[in-house]
Structure 1
Amino acid sequence: MLTPERTALVLLAAGHSHRFEGDKLSEPFLDKPLAYHVVTALENVPFLTRIAVVSNTGLDFGALGYQVEPNPDPSLGQARSLCHGVTVAKEAGAEAVLVALADMPRVTAAHVYRMFDAADGAGTIVASSDGVQPRPPALFGRNMFDDLLDLEGDEGARQLIKRGHHVVTSPAELVDVDTRADLEKLRKLYGLESDGK
């Protein structure tokens, strides 16, 4: 059985934000930068360690309890960030990694606990799903670490998670912010003209 206490949280926060045109993770949403929402949502889950893989951000994940790992070349794709995080998790003695994205501000701890409930040991692959497509957050047991370390490019672990168990939740919880239009849509959902109003 996998538990948060033996699992490393790997937060991927090194994207270039090309489609957003700016540092989307620092953009204000409600009362904090966009990237801090998932941090806050998962702050009481008792992970073994928390690792933030970052690039060119002014956000201080270290002050929020994360081991900060710079990705020197995020242009090599999401898989490179994932490899950095998994390598650090292995060194920490983690039995699993939970991979989360910093641009998914509506993920909840309740959903993450449901993912642990669906886990089945060292060979675990459990992904989130909106009922159509599997996506992060995703949970991988230690027997999958080598597969994760072999990944390349911007596909990340997409092919791996397709063959795993999928925990379905509301599409609204799995919203990721890729563009300014995505963020504006999210703000309107909360009745905000723009943040600060």
Structure 2
Amino acid sequence: MIAVEDTVLILLAAGRSERFGDVGSKLDQPFLSRPLGLHVAVALEDMPFKRRIAVVDGCRLDYAQHGFTVLHNEDPDRDMASSVRMGVECARALDAHAVLIALADMPRVTASHIYRLMDAADSEDAVVASSDGVSPRPPALFGRARFDDVLAISGDQGARDLIQAGRHVVTNAAELIDVDTREDLKELQRLVHAPEPLNRMDSHAIRK
């Protein structure tokens, strides 16, 4: 098992939100009385990671207030892999034994699930991903013997191939919901009976 204290949390919060629509950053949208992009940060705040890194671009969220070192990915041609590389390079400089990569648009992830990922990492060669029982996905853990493999990823497919070949920890599909579109957020609000059915994205639509 790789200890949480030896692991760097990398929270990916840099994205164009193109599928979500003209709202700036989807991570700023309200969900359960908190911005969508802060749920993971708060859910994992009691885990004693070696360091917390948030890779951001246009969102207005203050991750530093939640104990994160904030890295800005200003590459105009950025993809998720470029943000991952930024975080892993920082983790390597900190002599981390592993990185735990999480997405800021997955607001239902729990600390108990992350601990299960950590428990499944039996060596520094480990790759451990989450799964809904059908396909693997983030959050995912990579031992430091895999850092070179992660740094060599140049696109989303490369990341999928790497975690597909790793170990998978199954959890409830609802915990692994990621919010890509307005419809995704509305469906998640219905699922958890969120109190903000009329939020900023709906107001934007009404003004149109």
Bucket of the pairwise TM-score, normalised by the shorter protein: over 0.9
Which residue matches 1:175? 177
Match of 1:71 among 70, 73, 77: 73
Q: TM-score, normalised by structure 1?
A: 0.96
CA distance in 1, matches of 2:141, 2:193: 33
Query: What is aligned with 1:99?
Result: 101
> Does residue 3 in structure 1 map to residue 3 in structure 2?
yes
Report the AA paired with residue 71 of structure 1.
Answer: N
Structure 2 Cα separation of the partners of residues 181 and 171 of structure 1: 17
- Root-mean-square deviation (CA, aligned residues, Å) is 1.3
- The answer to whether the 8 A contact 1:15-1:74 is kept is no
Within 1, Cα distance between the matches of 2:122 and 2:198? Answer: 42
Greater mean alpha carbon deviation, residues 72-81 or residues 166-175:
72-81
Deviations for 1:122-146, whole angstroms, at most 9, x for unmatched residues?
1010000000000000000000001
- Give the AA of the match of 1:185: E
Pairwise CA distance, 1:188: 1.0
Of the three residues 129, 144, 148, the one matched with 2:150 is: 148
Alpha-carbon distance between aligned partners in 2 of 1:156 and 1:40, rounded to the nearest angstrom? 29
Larger displacement relative to structure 2 (90-99 or 150-159): 150-159
TM-score (norm 2): 0.91
Deviates more, 1:176-185 or 1:71-80: 71-80
Question: For 1:100, what is the secondary structure of its paired residue?
Answer: strand
Instruction: Check whether the contact 2:42–2:66 (CA below 8 A) recurs between aligned residues.
Output: no
Contact 1:38 1:108 in 2 (8 A): yes
1:118 aligns to 2:124 (yes or no): no
Structure 1 residue ranges (4+ consecutive) displaced by more than 6 angstroms after TM superposition:
none
Q: Which runs of 5+ in 2 are unaligned?
A: 200-208
Amino acid at match of 1:117: D
Q: Give the Å deviation of 1:74.
A: 5.6
Aligned partners of 1:168, 1:110: CA distance in 2, in Å?
Answer: 12
In structure 1, C-alpha distance between the alignment counterparts of 2:52 and 2:155, rounded to whole Å = 24
Residue matched to 1:51: 53
Number of residue-to-residue matches in the alignment: 196
Aligned-residue offset at 1:195? 5.5
Counterpart for residue 197 of structure 2 = 194
The 8 Å contact of residues 77 and 155 in structure 1, kept in 2 or not, is answered as no
